[in-house]
Amino acid sequence: MLYIKAPAKINLTLDVLYKRPDNYHEVDMIMTTIDLSDRIGLEASQDGLIKIISADRFVPSDERNFAYQAAKLLQDTYGIKEGVSITIDKEIPIAAGLAGGSSDAAATLRGLNELWNLNLTIDELAELGAQIGSDVPFCVYGGTARATGRGEKIEELPAPPNCWIVLAKPKIGVSTADVYGGLQLDNVAHPDTAKAIAAIASKDYSALCTSLGNVLESVTLKLHPEVSMIKEQMYRLGADAVLMSGSGPTVFGLVDSEARIARIYNGLRGFCDEVYTVRLLGERNTLA
Ligand SMILES: C[C@@](CO)(OP(=O)(O)O)[C@H](O)COP(=O)(O)OP(=O)(O)OC[C@H]1O[C@@H](n2ccc(N)nc2=O)[C@H](O)[C@@H]1O
Ligand SMILES: Nc1ncnc2c1ncn2[C@@H]1O[C@H](COP(=O)(O)OP(=O)(O)O)[C@@H](O)[C@H]1O
């Protein structure tokens, strides 16, 4: 069995420029991976079948699973006759704005490249991944990147300044399509992406904290007031900066002192079931 880590991402910035004729939105965002990961196990089989095994009943076990789609795409594109059993140990909350499904697909692409001896480059894997979802190319590379286009054009960035991340996920699932669909671009505050990139380049933690922004908050916070409540609570408990990740509803806070982490974590546990303290991974994935 080959095991691969599939880390979650957060969006440090998420700007939407305009709606495109293909119904996607042109985005400009900074994403970075965190050490909250699913674990993907891959076992080759000779029957040609793709099987999904997961103890989590919310993980689709058929062709709706993005990891299934990744394996099928490789089989169809390269005429692979082998099959694979894909075991997904789910740690990343589902439909949370953390790209769990996309990361499972990306890890499956990286792992099957090795298991099926395909010898594809990481750029080729990322290009294939774009056929599965807009966040998959970023997840193939991992690390920290600016993503443009519909999210599939990836430009590597250096690791952000060292800090802790507190994540809190309210008990609601959010549909990415619904959130983009509800966006009204004439009345949103756009993040300063260039300032955030400069802050990352110079490892300036304070400047990074003041340059976070996500235009999708304008939609999700209106639909789900509990997300605003969690943001306020995180600020009150002492986080240096707080933002919703992706289309939500997960909220993350940046903290640069270990001493404050326990207070924020414990304070949030009072009224939110799913709270995590994680580190930024910063650097890119190795190929497998
Ligand atoms: C918002 C973000 C930010 O990282 O993440 P999540 O909240 O999903 O984690 C992404 O843009 C989500 O990417 P992903 O979840 O891969 O989306 P896709 O499967 O490609 O698209 C789902 C739907 O979202 C909308 N969509 C997605 C990407 C984009 N640039 N414009 C869009 O309008 C489209 O309606 C599309 O049909
Ligand atoms: N491997 C997978 N893990 C989780 N969800 C998956 C997976 N494959 C497909 N999905 C579907 O993708 C949807 C979005 O899930 P996810 O990727 O976790 O969230 P998000 O798009 O908010 O980052 C879910 O509703 C789920 O049914």
Residue 91 covered by a domain: yes
In a domain, 284, yes or no: no
Pick the catalytic residue from 15, 38, 104, 135: 135
Q: What domain range is 54 assigned to?
A: 2-157
Q: 271 and 248, same structural domain?
A: yes
Domain contains 256: yes
Tell me if residue 9 is catalytic.
Answer: yes
**How close is the Cα of 95 to the center of ligand 2, in Å?**
5
User: CA 108 → CA 59, 60, 101, distances in Å?
Assistant: 15, 15, 11
Q: Is 93 annotated as a binding residue?
A: yes
**Residues facing residue 5 across a β-bridge:** 39
Among 129, 157, 185, which residue terminates a domain? 157
pLDDT attached to residue 242 = 98
What CATH number did the domain enclosing 85 receive? 3.30.230.10
**80 shares its domain with 188:** no
Gap from CA of 147 to ligand 1 centroid (Å): 12
User: Are residues 197 and 231 located together in one domain of the fold?
Assistant: yes
Same domain for 187 and 99: no
Q: What is the pLDDT of residue 286?
A: 66
Catalytic residue among 9, 104, 169, 240: 9
Paired residues of 276 in beta bridges: 167
Residue 105 lies in a domain: yes
Domain for residue 266, yes or no? Answer: yes
Expressed in angstroms and rounded, the spacing between residue 60 Cα and the centre of ligand 2 is 8
Q: How many domains does the chain have?
A: 2
Alpha carbon nearest to ligand 1 atom 30, residue: 150
Domain check: are 82 and 223 in the same one? no
149 and 178 part of one domain: no
- Give, using CA atoms, the residue closest to atom 23 of ligand 2: 99
Q: Is 38 a known active-site residue? A: no
Q: Are residues 149 and 209 in the same domain?
A: no
Q: Is residue 260 a part of any domain in this protein? A: yes
- Residue 19 CA: nearest ligand 1 atom is 33
Q: What is the pTM of this model?
A: 0.97
Question: Is 42 part of any known ligand binding site?
Answer: no
Closest CA to 132 of 63, 83, 206: 63
Say whether both 134 and 181 belong to one domain. Answer: no
Position 43 scores a pLDDT of: 98
Ranges of the chain with pLDDT below 70 = 286-288
Residue 159 to residues 46, 243, 283, Cα–Cα distance (Å): 41, 19, 6
Q: Determine if ligand 1 sits within 6 Å of the CB of residue 135.
A: yes
pLDDT tens-place string over residues 172-186:
988 999 999 999 999
Buried b (16+ CB within 10 A) or exposed e, 47-69: eeebbbebeeeebeeeeebbbbb
Domain termination residue (choose one: 157, 179, 198): 157
Decide whether any atom of ligand 2 lies within 6 Å of the 131 Cβ. Answer: no
Q: Which atom of ligand 2 is nearest to the CA of 102?
A: 17
ipTM for this prediction? 0.98
Task: Answer left, alpha or beta for residue 162, where phi above 0 means left and psi between -120 and 50 means alpha.
Answer: beta
For residue 106 and ligand 2, the question of a CB distance below 6 A is answered with: no
Residue-wise pLDDT tens digits, 219-271: 999 999 999 999 999 999 999 999 999 999 999 999 999 889 999 999 999 88
